[in-house]
Amino acid sequence: MKAIKVNLAKRSYRIIIGFGVIKNLGRYIRQLDLGTDAYIITNSLIKRRYAQNILRSLDKHKINSTFDIVADTERSKSLSICLCSIQNLARFDQKRRVFIVAFGGGVVGDLSGFIASIYKRGIPYIQIPTTLLACVDSSIGGKTGVDLKFGKNLVGSFYQPSLVLSELSFLKSLSLRQVRSGMAEVIKYAIIKDKKFFGYLEKNYKRILNLERAALEYVVNCCAKIKAKIIEQDEREEMGIRTILNFGHTLGHAIEAASAYQRYNHGEAIALGMILASRISRRIGLLKGIDLRRIENLITAVSLPVFIKGLSLEKILKAYYRDKKFIGEMNRFVLISDIGKIVIKQNLPLSRIKGSLAEIMTPQT
Amino acid sequence: MKAIKVNLAKRSYRIIIGFGVIKNLGRYIRQLDLGTDAYIITNSLIKRRYAQNILRSLDKHKINSTFDIVADTERSKSLSICLCSIQNLARFDQKRRVFIVAFGGGVVGDLSGFIASIYKRGIPYIQIPTTLLACVDSSIGGKTGVDLKFGKNLVGSFYQPSLVLSELSFLKSLSLRQVRSGMAEVIKYAIIKDKKFFGYLEKNYKRILNLERAALEYVVNCCAKIKAKIIEQDEREEMGIRTILNFGHTLGHAIEAASAYQRYNHGEAIALGMILASRISRRIGLLKGIDLRRIENLITAVSLPVFIKGLSLEKILKAYYRDKKFIGEMNRFVLISDIGKIVIKQNLPLSRIKGSLAEIMTPQT
């Protein structure tokens, strides 16, 4: 078991990572005095597989609970689903002291955190991530949000959980594609902050894809530590520090949006975004060719995409321009000068972006 | 013109109060660097009467704008109206740098502040209150919210405005009933914090009801100062200090809800709530009879209700129990031991509440 503290004064919390940590859920809730009634937001698969693990621990500590099942797709991150869940929550809450448990992947986490942030002007919530991506990234840091048709996460808040409980045994039901998707964020942490960790991933990626215990615990712990440090310095993305977490995300989001969240899942789109950010970095002379190759090789090794298929350059650029990161006439890119070294560049010429995109486009099928 | 600073570190802002202050709106927006595009949420009456005052100042400083008209009823404080407005806002926001202007009374302010708090995880907003109630109370302090059918303000946030601009000439279009409603909150400030101010109100209430310039400016300034001080000490209602602003609100809200927001407007319900809180204070020996009479006399003098009509005791108690302030089995009342002196009492026997309610009930019509 590993425990990481996210230091944010009154909003501090712990990230507990390991196999079997879920059995302490009820005890943690009591220690933190979060409430007496758990409103658990999850999807039907997770509920079927793992609800018992949660209920056993809650029952032991006499904590009431109810489940709110949402579909496991990006479409669940909508204001109308949110409205529906909040009304159910208010019904459940009559004369109780309720808190929320986000029990699932990124979709469930983002939606649940947002609901917790606005119900009664904020009630406590716990993240219990069940995907690798959520364990290393979305469950930490308090970015919550739902989508509008105009863009992803256009509605949301910064609202920290009271606890993140990463029960790694829950990851065994993930498909290989889902594990790979999580690996994209893992690789991101290595690229933005830790060259040694990148070296570890080059040697051990197979063990992680196979969900080997020691490797998995090590990797989730490394990523969570890096993210916690960044959040502590720039909780609300106001200081230009948290921005580095967007490495690969600017064009990644555009690719995800251009494919209408169908062809590429989040991790795959981020892998492509990281390839692009690295190629742009190389193109403007920031990054050495050998480092670009190491990045491309690792992404290839874990079977994440390095070429864009079935999307036109125009469609991606259109989605990119719509992206909320495009403010006024200015663009801002998170690039690298080395593995582990970030450089923020503003007003990158469109030709650079287009050129790098064109390099990795394959003819449309 | 009066200016009050609300000191909240990075979230500090000014409250500007006076006649003719609206002509500086554009300049303030530029000084605060809030954005280039104003999304103005208002109601149709206010737009028709006063839009020109706003647009003149915005145009002068080359600030774009658009209007979002919502109905001027409590029903506008809903998640579905919110969803609709946010989509319009996102449409307007393409490639712009948008901020929100809450231009209206409490309903518009609460809704607009909430939208500002969740759009893109928070964008700036300005309060331009157009009712006495909003000038002295709801525009200050960053409590935003919308209602669920289960209760008022069940969904919301703490999110401070960047500026409050109280243009007192806007109040001249208020009905006398609306001015009286605002007076209820004015009297509240005097009761909870300032016996001298209470004395001023006893002498000058007619001048305020007539909206005389000097009296109005003095009163709005006094109330805003009291509220600012309280907010500075307890921004998120965590320290038990902000709670004193709820004087008269616990039963006031129940009366408002029991009348389905029809018979009594907010101020009238709060007046009744203050009568009840004062009577309970007298009943348990906290408050002297002479002070209770002074409170009842002032409320009577401004023609706010002191007796409850057309509602049953059962209905009010039912609404009270549903109220979100009722947590678990514990109730909490803001009472007084003197005009200007608050006492918080927990676990007040139901008989005290019922007894005081029964005293001011009149037979149902």
Which residue in the block uniquely carries the two structure tokens 């909150």?
B185
Other CB atoms closer than 10 Å to residue B83's CB: what's the count?
Answer: 18
Interface of A with B (CB under 8 A): 36, 79-80, 82-83, 86-87, 90-91, 93-97, 114, 117-122, 143, 145, 148-151, 153-158, 236-237, 321-322, 324, 326-328
Tokens of B346: 């927990």
End-to-end CA distance of chain A: 47
Task: List chain B residues with CB under 8 Å of A328.
Answer: 95-97
A237 is catalytic: yes
Q: Above 70 in pLDDT, residue B141?
A: yes
- Catalytic site residues of B? 121, 143, 185, 227, 237, 242, 246, 249, 253, 266
Choose the weakest-confidence range: A202-211, A346-355, B37-46: A346-355
Shortest CA gap B85–chain A (Å): 12
Rounded to whole angstroms, how far apart are CA atoms A251 and A270? Answer: 8
CA atoms within 13 Å, Cβ hemisphere of A317: 13
Instruction: Tell me which of A43-52, A131-140, A300-309, B94-103 is least confident.
Output: B94-103
- Find the residue in A nearest to B328 (Cα): A95
Asked if A266 is an active-site residue, the reply is: yes
Contacts of A41 (CB under 8 A, 6+ apart): A67, A68, A70, A85, A100, A101, A102, A103, A104, A108, A111, A112, A115
Question: What average pLDDT does range B80-103 have in this prediction?
Answer: 92
What burial class does residue B7 get, using C-beta atoms within 10 Å of its C-beta: 0-12 exposed, 13-18 middle, 19+ buried? exposed
Q: Name which of A122, A148, A157 is nearest B121 (Cβ-Cβ).
A: A157
- CB contact under 8 Å between A83 and B83, yes or no, is yes
Please state which CATH class domain A2-173 belongs to. Answer: alpha beta
Enumerate chain B positions whose Cβ falls within 8 A of a Cβ in A.
79-80, 82-83, 86-87, 90-91, 93-97, 114, 117-122, 143, 145, 148-151, 153-158, 236, 321-322, 324, 326-328
The pLDDT of residue A364 is: 59
On whether the pTM is more than 0.90, the answer is yes
Nearest CA in chain A to B142: A121
Which amino acid would we find at residue B25?
L
* DSSP annotation of B363: -
Residue B43 and residue B9 in contact, taking contact as beta carbons nearer than 8 Å: no
β-strand partners of A128:
A103
The residue type of B328 is: G
Q: Could you tell me which CATH number the domain at B2-172 has?
A: 3.40.50.1970
- Chain B CB contacts of A97 below 8 Å: 327-328
pLDDT (tens digit per residue) in A300-322? 999 999 999 999 999 999 888 87
**Strand B2-6 and strand B13-18: pairing?**
antiparallel
The count of C-alpha atoms lying within 13 angstroms of the C-alpha of B115, restricted to the half-sphere facing its C-beta, is 33
**How many angstroms separate the CA atoms of B258 and A115, rounded?**
27
Each residue of A96-137: pLDDT tens digit? Answer: 789 999 999 999 999 999 999 999 999 999 999 999 999 999
Q: What is the ipTM of this complex?
A: 0.91
Q: Which of A225, A235, A246 is nearest to A323 (CA)?
A: A246
Q: Do A158 and B122 touch (CB under 8 A)?
A: yes
Domain A176-360 fold is Dehydroquinate synthase-like, alpha domain (1.20.1090)
Q: Which of A180, A266, A282, A294 is catalytic?
A: A266
Q: How far apart are CA B103 and CA B41, in angstroms?
A: 6
d(CA B239, CA A15): 27
- The token duo for A88 is 């159910």
Q: How confident is the model at residue A328 (pLDDT cuts 50, 70, 90)?
A: very low
Is the pLDDT assigned to residue A324 strictly greater than 90? no
Q: What single-letter amino acid sits at B147?
A: D
Q: Where are the domains of chain B?
A: 2-172, 176-360
Q: Is B206 exposed, middle or buried (0-12, 13-18, 19+ CB in 10 A)?
A: exposed
Q: Cα(B139)–Cα(B29) distance, rounded to whole angstroms?
A: 17
CA distances from A121 to A124, A148, A162, A237 (A): 10, 22, 15, 21
Identify all chain A residues contacting B90, using CB atoms and an 8 Å cutoff: 148, 150-151, 154
pLDDT at A331: 75
Supply the mean pLDDT for chain B: 94
Cross-chain Cβ contact A150/B326 below 8 Å: no
Tokens at B200, concatenated: 């001023």
C-alpha distances in angstroms, B106 versus A271, B217, B226, B243? 47, 19, 18, 19
